[in-house]
Amino acid sequence: MNARLETIAADELRYDWTAEAISALFDLPFMELMYQAQQVHRQHFDPNKVQVSSLLSIKTGKCPEDCAYCPQSVRHDAELTVDPLMPLDDVLLAAKKAKSQGSSRFCMGAAWRSPKDKDLDAVTDMIKGVNALGMETCMTLGMLSQKQTQRLKEAGLDYYNHNLDTSPDFYGEIITTRTYQDRLDTLAHVRDAGINVCCGGIIGMGESRSDRVGLLQQLANQPQHPESVPINMLVRVEGTPLASAAELDQLEFVRTLAVARIMMPRSYVRLSAGRESMSDETQALCFLAGANSVFYGEKLLTTPNPSMDHDMLLFEKLGMQVMQ
């Protein structure tokens, strides 16, 4: 076993990652990095299995926040069909369909800065209804107070998605309407309520490699590693400030996934937004780097995702099976 991997194995589940140690992983020759990531991956997961979740936007657009990447911000002029909070029956219909198509987790997203208490009455009904179908539930609703996370937990919520998005240093270039600390506070409330944490970020927003290092450092040095780590490749949406961001080298994206896998060995690392513009070959490298979860279904929240037929063919070509 190579010396660096021995260190990783011995110190498994580290929460004290330094920027230097993370940079050293990024700097490894590509083949070496992939080899190490694959070895760590195989210690904890079946390398031929992929977890799939379906996404539904339950409230779309007119968000007061100014996230530079997001088509749902009221401050940008992306083309978008604005929709108020979806009725319960429509949500359950979409969840049933997702279940029949093979998804075991149903993720519901709302374009809110944070939910109001009356919004929570409606979403707790959605959680109960989706759980009753025998599916895991995930929600992403913006910032939450401690009391609100307790309500979600009591309703049976399995996962809450709240991303850090980027490094603390680069954050101010992307969002000005809420702070990094606001995000960390919400994550602490989610964790304290006993809800599984889904937390990751976006790559390709014009950040430097040291920002990618900073993001992963923040993710891995939380009191517990997030159970699920979505790594999104920026979807450049017309009308948003990042519409013409420079395209990131896809191998740098693969490296980011590999480093995330090594740093958070037991977490599900999700190859999230951005698959629509990736070749099958790039996605195969992402799985080799240790990604073992994807969003499944033609649409993310508002932007396209690969068709289910395409994904099934890809999994078949790679000999991968969907986790039940």
The question of whether 270 is a catalytic residue gets the answer yes
By the 10 Å C-beta count (0-12 exposed, 13-18 middle, 19+ buried), 296 is classed as: buried
The residues, ordered by sequence, that sit 6+ positions from 88 with a Cβ below 8 Å of its Cβ are: 122, 125, 126, 129
251 in Cβ contact with 225 (< 8 Å): no
Which residues, 108 to 147, sit near ligand SF4 by CB under 6 A?
Answer: 111, 142
Comparing CB distances to ligand SAM, the nearer of 175 and 320 is 175
Please report how close the Cβ of residue 239 comes to ligand DTB at its closest, in angstroms.
12
Q: How far apart are CA 125 and CA 191, in angstroms?
A: 22
Please say whether the beta carbons of 267 and 228 come within 8 A. Answer: yes
- Choose between 109 and 214: whose C-beta lies nearer to ligand DTB: 109
Question: Which CB sits closer to ligand SAM, 163 or 305?
Answer: 163
Confirm or reject binding of residue 67 to ligand SF4 (CB under 6 A): yes
| Nearest CB to ligand DTB, comparing residues 200 and 265 | 200
Q: How far apart are CA 33 and CA 171, in angstroms?
A: 27
DSSP state of 264: S
Q: Please indicate whether residue 286 is annotated as part of the active site.
A: no
**What does DSSP assign to residue 85?**
P
What type of residue is 271?
Answer: L
- Residue 234 binds what, of ligand DTB, ligand SF4, ligand SAM, none (CB under 5 to 8 Å, by partner type)? ligand SAM
**Which active-site residues does the annotation give?**
63, 67, 70, 107, 138, 198, 270
Residues that bind ligand SAM (CB under 6 A): 63, 69-70, 72, 109, 111-112, 140, 142, 162-163, 165, 202, 232, 234-235, 237, 273, 301
Residues that bind ligand DTB (CB under 6 A): 55, 71, 107, 109, 140, 161, 163, 200, 230, 232, 235, 272-273, 300-303
